[in-house]
């Protein structure tokens, strides 16, 4: 059976989110309608939080929504988000400003930095997570190694993004509801990895034991096994 | 035995002196009514207006606005007339109809009468047409209810959702249960013998006790159909929703489904479509006939879906464009597809299962195949899972477990190719398809 969509080959995005108003539009649409997409990853991260944890790191914060959500739920834990796209970081900062003004209890900080050189000490984070960012990473193998480096021995790395080769029915299901955002969605999907691509990246990063799961449209990479 | 040495013409017996001019016929008495029988057909009318927009409802609809409603009604009448003058439509009689929305009764009683008069005046409406309409407890009054009954609407469905005051307020509905009970009484008194109410489970703050209270109220009020739906929280960050109690956990929501199925069957209701229950004799035939029997449906109004002449299609969703197209003299058909014999068979199976049972003999009459043979693998798998049973008559979905998983069961019969496509709900994904020309 011939595929419906042109997604066989990965097509990296040359300059994702290169325009600030486009990012604000994306942020608004995520907040207004696509927050559904954040629910499962948010729940998975919250379920990993244990008594005594002190530090959570988000690698590629997008517009900061997930860090703010997790931080708000656990004000005793420091949540640090690193983003290498200036426009995404700027909107994340705007969101953070608003939540500070609204007296958030969250202890959240965002910082511009290279994802291939995370500004954290070895074995310093209890949870290292990422959502909808992997497909934009400039040097994914190095970033995966960095996630491993900063994660505590009993901590966990969990990275979620779209699966370019997800069942086409899942792609269609989401696509039919997107309207204006449909083109950006398909561009991001084309830049996303397949499970095999990710296994190859993990191999190159010296992390062959990490786990790769598929869930609907998503791809979940984890340093420990998860019961999904 | 032919002898090859003989000339060809010698092989023939004597020349037959009966001309072949007809095919042999088993003659019986026949009347003109048998030759010119009008096949049954249905209509679906979509009225995309609501007098109040509920923040908990994800469907596309418009605030009722007298500036556009009359323009819309005029266009709808033109669309009806456009269909009505086509010979194919004239060859059918309308035995089924469903008027949905939006809230169809956001029309005034005068507009409702105008629409129904036009339908009955233009189309071959059967005198016993099973015509249903949707309303809400606030958008119906005695005048509208009497107009509907007088003009031929036989079943009315009210979006009640819950009889609990707080739960009503939390989904942004007028929070007076008495108003709902009065509305049900009002439609019953106006002459509606078949009254459906929609209820929701999984609402913010809902408990098993409050769910049972709503079900008890429904039974007590003497409604003939109860349909229930699982509430989905769409607007998670809405400031209106932030302070609400949480929705019940999935386990509780599941149990609410099974509880309602048990309670309603114990109280004389019979299940159909999984989450719809009706007193015997009051089950609407719209779904069953348009799905299992493949009765064609004329779609009327924006986003309405239908299937006619081997095509499934939906109408232009944008209301202004819909009005413009209809006014230009064309039908507002927007997107759809020609349907192959194989997909028509699968569709009949998918939708037949959705109507909870598929009759083997009738399926063979309609589609020329034995579904039990064709879908042996899928059916055996579902039987092993305890979701369907096969009898000598056909397939039956096993309640209540199978009713709960009805959509999963139905989708088991999707073809590999078509399960990748959207249901036709008004979305256009063609710009993203690899090969648009091949569709």
Query: Chain B: nearest CA to A209, how far in angstroms?
Result: 33
pLDDT tens for each residue of A131-159: 999 999 999 999 999 999 999 999 999 99
Ranking A26-35, A207-216, B140-149 by mean pLDDT, the lowest is: A26-35
Is B209 touching A (CB cutoff 8 A)? Answer: no
Contacts of A177 in chain B (CB under 8 A): 427
Asked if pLDDT for residue B53 goes beyond 90, the answer is no
Mean per-residue pLDDT, B173-194? 94
Candidates B416, B419, B429; nearest CB to A176: B429
Do B429 and A169 lie within an 8 Å CB cutoff?
no
pLDDT tens for each residue of B267-313: 999 988 888 999 999 988 877 777 777 799 999 999 899 999 989 89
Cβ pair A85, A16 in contact under 8 A: yes
> Which residues of chain A have a Cβ shorter than 8 Å from any chain B Cβ?
1-6, 31-32, 35-36, 39, 167-169, 172-173, 175-177, 182-183, 186
Candidates B234, B237, B434; nearest CB to A5: B434
Asked if pLDDT for residue B43 goes beyond 80, the answer is yes
Q: How many CB pairs under 8 A join A and B?
A: 44
Candidates A3, A5, A176; nearest CB to B422: A176
Mean per-residue pLDDT, A185-194? 96
The span from the CA of A179 to the CA of B320, in Å, is: 18
Query: Chain A: nearest CA to B237, how far in angstroms?
Result: 7
3-class DSSP state of B100: strand
Share of chain B above pLDDT 90, in %: 64
Strands B357-359 and B333-338 turn out to be: unpaired
Nearest residue on chain A to B232, alpha-carbon basis: A36
CA terminus-to-terminus distance, chain A = 30
To which residue do tokens 């032919």 refer?
Answer: B2
Q: What is the pLDDT of residue A19?
A: 94
Contacts of B237 in chain A (CB under 8 A): 31-32, 35
Q: What is the pLDDT of residue B13?
A: 64
* pLDDT higher at B397 or B427: B397
Here the ipTM equals 0.76
Give the burial string for B355-374 (b: 16+ CB within 10 Å, else e).
bbbbbbeebeebbebebeeb
Contacts of B435 in chain A (CB under 8 A): 2
Asked if pLDDT for residue B145 goes beyond 80, the answer is yes
Candidates B416, B421, B422; nearest CB to A1: B416
pLDDT category at B437 given cuts 50, 70, 90 is very low
Cβ pair B152, B129 in contact under 8 A: yes
The span from the CA of B71 to the CA of A82, in Å, is: 54
Do A35 and B417 lie within an 8 Å CB cutoff?
no
Q: Which of A75, A87, A95, A88 is nearest to A31 (CA)?
A: A95
Region of B191 please: left (phi>0), alpha (psi -120 to 50) or beta: left
| pTM, full prediction | 0.81
Do B432 and A3 lie within an 8 Å CB cutoff?
no
Q: What is the pLDDT of residue B438?
A: 44
Asked if pLDDT for residue B158 goes beyond 60, the answer is yes
Q: What is the pLDDT of residue B439?
A: 42
Cβ pair B119, B93 in contact under 8 A: no
Share of chain A above pLDDT 90, in %: 84
Contacts of A28 in chain B (CB under 8 A): none
Q: Which two tokens mark A177?
A: 């509801």
The span from the CA of B265 to the CA of B225, in Å, is: 12
Do A182 and B429 lie within an 8 Å CB cutoff?
yes
Contacts of B234 in chain A (CB under 8 A): 36
The span from the CA of B321 to the CA of B13, in Å, is: 71
Of B238, B246, B429, B433, which to mutate for an interface test with A (greatest number of A Cβ within 10 Å)?
B429
* pLDDT higher at A141 or A176: A141
Give, in degrees to the nearest 5, the angle at Cα B139 between B136 and B145.
Answer: 95
Of A35, A63, A172, A190, which to mutate for an interface test with B (greatest number of B Cβ within 10 Å)?
A172
Nearest residue on chain A to B426, alpha-carbon basis: A176
Do A4 and B237 lie within an 8 Å CB cutoff?
no
CA terminus-to-terminus distance, chain B = 55
What value does the mean pLDDT of chain A take?
94
Do B432 and A175 lie within an 8 Å CB cutoff?
yes
To which residue do tokens 């005048």 refer?
Answer: B143
Share of chain A above pLDDT 70, in %: 99
What value does the mean pLDDT of chain B take?
89
3-state secondary structure chain A: CCCCCCCCCCCCCCCCCCCHHHHHHHHHHHHHCCCHHHHHHHHHHHHHCCCCCCEEEEECCCCCHHHHHHHHHCCCCEEEEEECCHHHHHHHHHHHHHHHHCCCCCEEEEEECCCCCCCCCCCCEEEEEEECCHHHCCCHHHHHHHHHHHEEEEEEEEEEEECCCCCHHHHHHHHHHHHHHHHHHHHHHHHCCCHHHHHHHHHHCCCCCCEEEEECCEEEEECCCCCC
The span from the CA of B164 to the CA of B173, in Å, is: 11
Of B317, B420, B430, B431, which to mutate for an interface test with A (greatest number of A Cβ within 10 Å)?
B420
Query: Chain B: nearest CA to A63, how far in angstroms?
Result: 16
Mean per-residue pLDDT, B63-89? 94
Asked if pLDDT for residue B153 goes beyond 50, the answer is yes
Q: What is the pLDDT of residue B211?
A: 98
pLDDT tens for each residue of A34-84: 667 888 899 999 999 999 999 999 999 999 999 999 999 999 999 999 999
Query: Chain B: nearest CA to A122, how far in angstroms?
Result: 36
Contacts of B377 (CB under 8 A, 6+ apart): none
Do B433 and A5 lie within an 8 Å CB cutoff?
yes
Nearest residue on chain A to B436, alpha-carbon basis: A4
Of B232, B235, B427, which to mutate for an interface test with A (greatest number of A Cβ within 10 Å)?
B427
pLDDT tens for each residue of B214-227: 999 999 999 999 99
Of A169, A177, A180, A185, which to mutate for an interface test with B (greatest number of B Cβ within 10 Å)?
A169
Contacts of B429 in chain A (CB under 8 A): 172, 175-176, 182
Is B242 touching A (CB cutoff 8 A)? Answer: no
Q: What is the pLDDT of residue A22?
A: 92
pLDDT category at A33 given cuts 50, 70, 90 is low
pLDDT tens for each residue of B234-272: 655 455 556 788 889 989 999 999 999 999 999 999 988
Is B422 touching A (CB cutoff 8 A)? Answer: yes
Is B433 touching A (CB cutoff 8 A)? Answer: yes
- B323: DSSP letter: H
Contacts of B421 in chain A (CB under 8 A): 4, 169, 172
């Amino acid at each position: 059976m011939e595929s419906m969509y042109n997604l066989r080959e990965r097509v990296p995005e040359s300059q994702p989110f290169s325009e600030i108003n486009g990012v604000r539009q994306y942020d608004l649409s995520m907040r207004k309608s696509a927050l559904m997409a954040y629910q499962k990853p948010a729940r998975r991260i919250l379920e990993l939080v244990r008594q005594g944890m002190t530090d959570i790191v988000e690698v590629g914060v997008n517009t900061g929504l997930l860090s703010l959500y997790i931080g708000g739920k656990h004000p005793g834990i420091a949540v640090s988000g690193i983003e290498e796209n200036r426009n995404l970081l700027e909107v994340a900062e705007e969101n953070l400003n608003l939540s500070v003004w609204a007296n958030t209890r969250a202890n959240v900080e965002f910082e511009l930095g290279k994802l291939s050189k995370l500004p954290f000490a070895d074995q310093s984070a209890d949870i290292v997570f990422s959502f909808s960012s992997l497909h934009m990473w400039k040097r994914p193998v190095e970033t995966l190694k960095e996630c491993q480096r900063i994660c505590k021995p009993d901590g966990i790395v969990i990275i979620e993004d779209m699966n370019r080769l997800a069942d086409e029915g899942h792609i269609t299901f989401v696509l039919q509801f997107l309207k204006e955002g449909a083109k950006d969605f398909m561009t991001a999907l084309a830049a996303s990895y397949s499970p095999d691509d990710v296994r190859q990246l993990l191999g190159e990063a010296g992390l062959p034991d990490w786990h790769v799961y598929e869930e609907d449209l998503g791809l979940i990479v984890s340093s420990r096994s998860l019961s999904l | 035995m032919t002898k090859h040495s003989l000339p060809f013409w010698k092989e023939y017996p004597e020349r037959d002196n009966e001309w072949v001019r007809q095919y042999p016929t088993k003659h019986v008495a026949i009347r003109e009514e048998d030759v010119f029988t009008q096949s049954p057909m249905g209509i679906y009318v979509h009225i995309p207006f609501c007098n109040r927009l509920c923040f908990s409802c994800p469907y596309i609809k418009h605030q009722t606005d007298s500036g556009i409603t009359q323009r819309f009604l005029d266009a709808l009448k033109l669309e009806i007339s456009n269909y009505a003058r086509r010979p194919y439509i004239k060859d059918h009689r309308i035995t089924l109809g469903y008027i949905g929305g939006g809230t169809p009764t956001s029309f005034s009683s005068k507009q409702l009468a105008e629409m129904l008069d036009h339908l009955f005046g233009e189309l071959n409406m059967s005198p016993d047409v099973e015509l249903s309409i949707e309303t809400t407890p606030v958008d119906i009054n005695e005048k509208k209810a009497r107009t509907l009954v007088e003009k031929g609407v036989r079943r009315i469905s009210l979006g009640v959702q819950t009889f609990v005051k707080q739960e009503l307020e939390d989904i942004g509905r007028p929070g007076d249960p008495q108003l709902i009970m009065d509305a049900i009484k009002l439609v019953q008194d106006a002459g509606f013998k078949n009254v459906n109410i929609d209820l929701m489970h999984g609402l913010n703050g809902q408990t098993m006790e409050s769910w049972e209270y709503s079900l008890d109220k429904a039974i007590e009020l003497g409604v003939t159909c109860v349909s229930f739906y699982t509430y989905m929280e769409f607007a998670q960050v809405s400031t209106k929703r932030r302070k609400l109690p949480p929705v019940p956990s999935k386990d509780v929501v599941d149990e609410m489904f099974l509880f309602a199925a048990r309670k309603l069957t114990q109280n004389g209701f019979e299940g159909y479509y999984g989450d719809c229950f009706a007193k015997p004799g009051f089950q609407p035939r719209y779904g069953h006939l348009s799905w299992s029997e493949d009765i064609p449906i004329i779609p009327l109004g924006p986003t309405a879906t239908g299937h006619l002449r081997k095509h499934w299609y939906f109408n232009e969703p944008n209301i202004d464009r819909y009005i413009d197209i209809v006014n230009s003299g064309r039908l507002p058909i927007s997107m759809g597809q020609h349907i192959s014999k194989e997909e028509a068979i699968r569709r009949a199976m998918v939708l037949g299962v959705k109507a909870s049972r598929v009759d083997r003999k009738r399926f063979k009459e309609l589609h020329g195949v034995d579904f039990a043979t064709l879908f042996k693998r899928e059916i055996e798998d579902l039987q092993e899972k305890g979701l369907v049973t096969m009898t000598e008559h056909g397939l039956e979905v096993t309640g209540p477990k199978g009713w709960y998983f009805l959509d999963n069961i139905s989708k088991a019969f999707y073809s590999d190719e078509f399960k990748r496509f959207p249901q036709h709900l008004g979305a256009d994904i063609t710009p993203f398809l690899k090969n648009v020309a091949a569709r």
